[in-house]
Amino acid sequence: MRPLPRQPPAIAAYLHSLSERQGKGTVTRAIEVSRWAGEIAEALAWAPVKCERLREAALLFALRRSLHGSHSPRALEEIELLSSVLDDEQSGWVRLGDESWDGDGPEGLAGTQIPDGSRVIRLADTWVTLLGRGDGDGDTAITVCWRDAGSAFWPDAVRALTRLRTRA
C-alpha cells in the first residue's frame, strides 16, 4: 500500500486500521482514486495546496463508495466521523462527487454548478474502476472517458487525464 503524502494523522491511522479489518483492496482502490484525482488536478494547473486537499477528499469519497452496501456499518460510521477533518469545500466535493456534467446526477447539478473538485473526483473514481476491470494499459478506459466527456465528465478533466497518459 502506497501512502499519500502529508496525510493527516487521523486518516493515516484509519487507513491502517481499515486495511487490517476489511482487506487491502478497499484501501488500495481509495488510494488510487486519491492519487489520480491529485494528478488530474495538477495537470489542470491547480495550486499544490488545493491538489492536496482534493486528494484527501477523493480518498474519503472512494472509501465511502467502496464500503457502501457492505456489511460493515461500523466502517461507514467511522468514515462519516473521519469526514469531519475535511473543511466545507472538501465536504462539498465529496458530497457532490457523483454529479454528471450534463446534470444527470443525484442532485441535478450541471456543468459549472458542480464544484471543480467533485468533477475531478467523478473522473478519477471512474478511471480507477475502468482500469480495475482489466484494461491495464488504459486504451479502452480513455476511450470510454472521451465518449462520456461532456455528458458524465468535465471535458477539461478528460483532456488533463489524456495529457497524463501521453506523458507516461
Q: Which residue has the cell 472509501?
A: 63
pLDDT tens per residue across span 25-70: 678 889 999 999 999 999 999 999 999 999 999 998 998 887 766 6
Domains of the chain (ranges plus CATH)? 9-167 (1.10.3210.10)
Backbone torsions φ then ψ of 30, nearest 5 degrees: -65, -40
Q: What does pTM read for this prediction?
A: 0.85
Distance CA 161, CA 44 (A): 9
DSSP 109: -
Distance CA 131, CA 70 (A): 22
pLDDT tens per residue across span 66-107: 776 665 677 667 777 777 788 999 999 999 999 999 999 999
The amino acid present at 93, given as its one-letter code, is W
DSSP helix/strand/coil, 8: coil
